[in-house]
Chain A
Amino acid sequence: MVQIRLPEKSKVKKGNYYKDKTGSKNLRKVNVYRWDPSTEENPRIDTYEVDMNNCPSKVLDILNKIKNEIDPSIAYRRSCAHGVCGSCAMNMDGKNGLACTKSHSEIKGDINIYPLPHLKVLKDLIGDLSTLYKQYESVEPWLKNSKNISERENLQSKEDRAKLDGLYECIMCACCSTSCPSYWWNGEKYLGPAVLLQAYRWIIDSRDEDRKARLKKVADELKLYRCHTIMNCTNACPKGLNPAKAIASIKKMLATS
Chain B
Amino acid sequence: MKNENPLSPHIQIYNWHISSLVSISHRIAGIINLTAVTLICFWVAYLLLGDENYQIIYIFLNSFFGKFLILGIVWSFSFQILSEIRHLFWDYGIGFDLKVANITGLIVIFGSFILTVLIYLVGNLF
Q: Which residues of A contact B (CB under 8 A)?
A: 4, 6-7, 9-10, 12, 33, 35, 37-40, 42-43, 91, 93-95, 112, 114-122, 127-128, 179, 181, 184, 228-232, 234-235, 242, 244-245, 248-249, 251-252, 255
User: B53 near A: Cβ within 8 Å?
Assistant: no
How many Å lie between the Cα of A4 and that of B17 in the bound state? 18
Q: How many residue pairs at the A-B interface have CB separations less than 8 Å? A: 108
Distance to closest chain A CB from B38 (angstroms): 23
Q: Which of A38, A112, A231, A235 contacts B13 (CB 8 A)?
A: A112
Chain B, residue nearest A128 (CB): B5
Most chain B beta carbons < 10 A, residue from A39, A43, A116: A43
Q: Would you list which residues of chain B between 11 and 52 have a CB under 8 Å from chain A? A: 11-15, 17, 19-20, 23
B91 touches A252 (CB 8 A): yes
* A229 near B90: Cβ-Cβ < 8 Å: yes
Contacting residues, chain A, for B12 (C-beta < 8 A)? 6
Q: List 25 A-B contacts (CB under 8 A).
A: A6-B12, A9-B4, A33-B8, A33-B9, A91-B13, A94-B14, A112-B13, A114-B8, A115-B8, A116-B8, A117-B11, A117-B13, A121-B6, A179-B14, A181-B20, A184-B10, A228-B23, A229-B23, A229-B90, A230-B20, A232-B14, A232-B19, A242-B98, A245-B93, A249-B93
The count of residues in chain B whose C-beta lies closer than 8 Å to any C-beta of chain A is 27
- Which of A6, A39, A112, A231 has most B Cβ within 10 Å? A231
Q: Which B104-119 residues have C-beta < 8 A from chain A?
A: none
- Dominant SS among interface residues on chain B: loop
Are B17 and A232 in contact, with the CB atoms below 8 A? Answer: yes
Q: Which residues of B contact A245 (CB under 8 A)?
A: 93, 96
Given known pairs A235-B17, A235-B19, the reply for A119 and B8 (CB within 8 Å) is: yes
Q: Mark B76-97, 1 if CB is under 8 A from A, else 0.
A: 0000000000010011110011
Asked, given contacts A40-B3, A91-B14, A242-B98, whether A231 binds B9 with beta carbons under 8 Å apart, the answer is no
- Report the separation of the CA atoms of residues A230 and B26 in the bound assembly, to the nearest whole angstrom: 10
Measured between beta carbons, the chain A residues less than 8 angstroms from B90 are 229, 248
- Confirm or deny: B121 has a beta carbon within 8 angstroms of a beta carbon on chain A: no
Contacts of A242 in B (CB 8 A): 96-98
Residues of B whose CB lies within 8 Å of any CB of A are 1, 3-15, 17, 19-20, 23, 87, 90-93, 96-98, 101
Of B13, B14, B15, B91, which is in contact with the most chain A CB atoms at under 10 Å from its CB? B14
Selected contact of B98 from candidates A117, A118, A234, A248, CB within 8 Å: A234
Q: In the complex, which of the residues A37, A39, A94, A251 contacts B91, with contact meaning CB atoms closer than 8 Å? A: A251
Assembly CA distance A118 to B97 (angstroms) = 26
- A-B CB proximity, top 9 nearest: A94-B15, A231-B19, A10-B6, A245-B96, A117-B10, A118-B10, A115-B8, A230-B23, A10-B7
